[in-house]
């Protein structure tokens, strides 16, 4: 299959499948949580979690057990086999750079995950660690070489992410393994929302309560189905895999003691404190 930038640009045609699916399913929020040393999945209904069994991506069923949100520790909301991320996916983030012709992806290691309300730990020698608030795609089924039209059915839902980046290392190192992949550099959560038409949502990133990034997700250069289709041509995606879709606007450095929040309408707020090593 041949690809061009025209194929991948967001369009009314590409958005129709996800919009129809959202209208048919309604919005549901899933969490992964720890209570009493046991890890479970559940459906979040207000301040109550309804425990489910059978796995998040197939054969789900409520157990009848209900717990209060205040009584559990939320974990990153799924267990991916791999984390991918897209760079340069908003015009507002390009600066003087030319818009890419295709989604430009890189990997982050699983050890970079951080839970909602967990700390972002600045590693030794880091001087210029930035936030990057992002929409994150959660894959729901095995996905290999799918078309753009087929990609919508491979997306389980969406969550919030922070693609934390050490800018000096990003510019100076040959690879981004530590600039993007240091421990705790991939906060994720707090929920996975299904049935959401994310194009109607706004992403905001706040540092110590001050809005630093604010953009409609309809402004993505390459939308969710385009990203999933392209990625699946080269790397088979598995249920639970996540793809960070890119950050808008400008970013700035964080320091120990700061609090960074990534909020997306219809999903919630991913909140993390910044700590020194």
Beta-strand pair 133-139/155-162: antiparallel
- Assess contact for 267 and 113: CB atoms under 8 A: no
Strand, coil or helix: 149: helix
Residue 146: is it exposed, middle or buried by C-beta count within 10 angstroms (0-12/13-18/19+)? buried
- Tens-place pLDDT, residues 144-158: 999 999 999 999 999
pLDDT band of residue 13 (cuts 50, 70, 90) is very low
- Assess contact for 57 and 141: CB atoms under 8 A: yes
pLDDT tops 80 at residue 24: no
pLDDT on residue 6: 47
- Tens-place pLDDT, residues 91-105: 999 988 899 999 999
Q: Where are the domains of the chain?
A: 5-276
pLDDT on residue 25: 64
> How do the residues of the chain divide into helix, strand and coil, expressed in percent and rounded to 5?
20, 40, 40
Residue (of 141, 159, 233) closest to 203 by Cα position? 159
pLDDT on residue 96: 83
pLDDT band of residue 12 (cuts 50, 70, 90) is very low
Q: Which residues contact 118 (CB under 8 A, 6 or more apart)?
A: 184, 187, 272
Question: Residues 37-56: what's their mean pLDDT?
Answer: 96
CATH class of 5-276: alpha beta
Strand, coil or helix: 150: helix
Name the DSSP class of 174.
Answer: S
- Tens-place pLDDT, residues 211-261: 999 999 999 999 999 999 999 999 999 999 999 999 999 999 999 999 999
């Amino acid at each position: 299959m041949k690809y061009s930038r025209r194929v991948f640009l967001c369009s009314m045609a590409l958005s129709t499948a996800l919009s129809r699916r959202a209208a048919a399913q309604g919005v549901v929020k899933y969490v992964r949580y720890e209570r009493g040393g046991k890890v479970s999945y559940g459906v979040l209904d207000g301040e109550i979690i309804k425990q489910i069994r059978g796995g998040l991506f197939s054969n789900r069923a409520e157990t009848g057990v209900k717990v209060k949100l205040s009584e559990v520790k939320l974990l990153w909301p799924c267990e991916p086999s791999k984390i991918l991320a897209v760079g340069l996916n908003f015009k507002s983030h390009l600066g003087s750079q030319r818009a890419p012709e295709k989604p430009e992806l890189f990997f982050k290691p699983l050890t970079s995950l951080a839970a909602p309300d967990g700390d972002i730990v600045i590693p030794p020698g880091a001087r210029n660690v930035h936030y990057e608030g992002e929409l994150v795609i959660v894959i729901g089924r095995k996905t290999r070489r799918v078309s753009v039209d087929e990609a919508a059915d491979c997306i389980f839902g969406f969550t919030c992410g922070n693609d934390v980046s050490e800018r000096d290392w990003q510019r100076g190192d040959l690879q981004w393994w530590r600039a993007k992949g240091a421990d705790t550099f991939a906060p994720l959560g707090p929920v996975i929302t299904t049935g959401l038409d994310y194009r109607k949502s706004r992403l905001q990133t706040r540092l110590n309560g001050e809005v630093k990034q604010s953009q409609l997700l309809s402004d993505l250069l390459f939308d969710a189905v385009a990203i999933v289709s392209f990625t699946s041509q080269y790397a088979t995606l598995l249920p639970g895999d996540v793809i960070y879709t890119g950050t808008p606007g400008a970013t700035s450095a964080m320091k120990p003691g700061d609090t960074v929040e990534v909020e997306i309408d219809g999903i919630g707020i991913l909140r993390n404190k910044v700590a020194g090593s």
